[in-house]
Amino acid sequence: MDEEVVLDLNQIRAVRVLGRGAMASVFLVSAAPGSRLPTLFALKVFDKQSAAKPHALRRARWELSLLSRLSAAPGDHHHPFLPSLLGSVETPDLLAWAIPFCPGGDLHALRRSLSPSNEEAFSADAIRFYLSEIVTALAHLHSMRVAYRDLKPENVLLRSSGHIMLADFDLSRHLPARSTTHSSLPPPLPSDNHSHAPRRKLTRVFSFGAADDQIKKGRSARVSPASRRRTSSSSISKSREGSGGDDERSFSFVWTEEHSNAAANVPRLAAHRSH
């Protein structure tokens, strides 16, 4: 985005509520004729007065700053599977920002509409297509040293073209330069009070196994703190070796060359996506 637009709340009109979360509400909004904004867009509104959590405003500002970074590419060269910042506004009562509207809804809603009885709704090719685009989006975030940390079908929106757009970045985190592996999981549990004791870093992995299962069958995987502490690259390798085949294998993995391979396969997989 070449120049960030300062939203004029008097020149936009809320059409309907798209969703409500713990931190903010999202509205479908229409812009006044002649505006630089699209005719319809999504407006995420953070109410400063009703924020229940102490760090909520800081997280909202972080999400806004990250969207601004994602939109910093000149012209229309922002990442196709990540949102662009269309504009923002802050008042004493609220902080709001505009992103593209995705008329296809989210992957969770799509799966439910195709299979209300929790049967598998997507073909293997469709699942590969969506997960490949997710991998591509996460790869770009990681190149910016950002861990997404909130991967679930509800946060995978669908544009009118059928391609994805990741949403909701308030739980994301900037990765320090010394980090060599990344995660969409919550951060490791803090160490004990011996501040000078050696600290062993937990291996950070992507939770694609959970996302894969949710997209296919709508099941939400539960990860206990004990399981999280046991997670390692070797256990991920074993889960691959013990899988029942390519269609059913876990998509949990440490960042490796597989990311590049999956990203390169997106155009080919798109041709096989189910309609």
The residues carrying an active-site annotation are 150
The annotated binding site for ATP is made up of 44
- Which distant-in-sequence residues (6+ apart) come within 8 Å of 64 by Cβ? 85, 88, 95, 97
Higher-confidence position of 217 and 205: 217
pLDDT at 219: 60
Listed range (39-53, 126-140, 207-221) with the worst mean pLDDT: 207-221
Q: Which domains does the chain have, with CATH numbers?
A: 9-99 (3.30.200.20), 107-271 (1.10.510)
Higher pLDDT, 236 or 96: 96
Give the mean model confidence (pLDDT) for residues 247-264: 39
Q: Which residues pair with 17 in a beta bridge?
A: 27
Which H or E run contains 15? strand 12-20
Outline where DSSP puts E strands in 40-187: 40-47, 87-90, 94-99, 146-147, 156-158, 164-166, 173-174
Instruction: Please name the residue ranges forming H helices in the chain.
Output: 56-70, 107-114, 124-143, 208-217, 225-230, 233-241, 257-264, 266-271
For the chain, percent of residues with pLDDT exceeding 70: 61
Average pLDDT, the chain: 75
pLDDT for the residue numbered 104: 97
Query: Binning pLDDT at 50, 70 and 90, where does residue 132 land?
Result: very high
pTM over 0.95: no
| Residue 251: strand, helix, or coil | coil
- The four Cα atoms 167, 171, 177, 180 give a dihedral, to 10 degrees, of -80
Extract the annotated binding site: 44
Joined together, the tokens standing for residue 105 give 């809804």
Instruction: Indicate the residue type of 175.
Output: L
Amino acid identity of residue 246, one-letter, is D
Q: Which helix (H) or strand (E) element contains residue 181?
A: none
Q: Which strands make up the sheet holding 12-20, listed edge to edge? A: 12-20, 25-31, 40-47, 94-99, 87-90
CA distance 53 to 25: 15
Q: Please determine, for residue 25, whether its predicted confidence score (pLDDT) is greater than 90.
A: yes
